[in-house]
Amino acid sequence: MDSSEPMEELDLKSVSMKKKEEKFRNCQERKRANRGEERKRRREKYKEERQNGALPKNIVRDQQLQRLMEAQGTSLKVCIDLQYGHLMTEKELNHLSNQLKRVYSSNKAAEQPFHLYFTNLKREGPIYATCCQKIDGFDRFLVETVEESVLSLFEAERLAYLSPDATEYLTELCEDVVYVIGGLVDDSVQSKVTLSFSERSNIRTYKLPIPIYMDRAAQGSFKQILTINQIFDILLCYWETKDWKRALAQGVPLKTGFITKP
């Protein structure tokens, strides 16, 4: 009787492991299928746009890169503060690299791109290694990448740190202010990480004005902690439109349950 118990435990573990492996394979197959469908949709969309007079991709890309180069030193400065690599798991680092890729893509596609910085990006650190591994051409991004902190680049008085734990709402973007987004993907939601750093460093902190311009729908998570690229996209849209309702409607996910006020 006793000798059979270890065998039963092994059998249960083996079955559980096989189920996990099968679930993982199915998930990967769905992702591959979805990527294929997405590529097909993009090709069809591009074909339709070209038929309607859109510019060829190479010309569009050249124009985007020209705007990015012109933004260096002339446009509003936005920094992604990448000092938090030691707080993230491998999974969170992978998510971070994907969000940084989205940030760069949004800035590149913008008519009025920001002067974008990736600060505290240590060449020997885990964030840089993960980004180089996961993102083709990461080291060729038209972004000002520096190993120094924002405090080494700018005076604390010029900085405004976006933090979900701040008490003041961001109401405008000013050209003489440098805006900082914390480069932290935190699935466990560690409390007040960016706020604590900002308070120690005498940096002003602000949070997005979601409750000012948005109401709660009947259901949703109602979480105001957004991803790095969502925050960036909101700032970018507001910079171009000067319309918080439009910017928040574009950047705040529907699943949060927030809808713009009438």
Q: How far apart are CA 47 and CA 202, in angstroms?
A: 52
pTM of the model: 0.80
Q: In what order do the strands lie in the sheet with 77-81?
A: 144-145, 115-119, 77-81, 178-182, 159-162, 204-206
Does the structure show a pLDDT above 80 at 23? Answer: no
Residue 34: pLDDT band (50, 70, 90) is confident
Strand 115-119 with 159-162, pairing: unpaired
Which residues, in sequence order, are bridge partners of residue 118?
80, 145
Residue 8: pLDDT band (50, 70, 90) is low
Closest Cα to residue 165, out of 209, 207, 213?
Answer: 207
- Per-residue model confidence as pLDDT tens digits over 65-105: 899 999 998 999 999 999 999 999 999 999 999 999 999 99
Does the structure show a pLDDT above 80 at 39? Answer: no
Residue 163 one-letter amino acid: S
Rounded to 5°, the CA angle 155-157-159 comes to 80
Closest Cα to residue 78, out of 192, 209, 232?
Answer: 232
Cα dihedral sign, 35-102-96-247 = negative
pLDDT for 49 equals: 59
pLDDT for 224 equals: 85
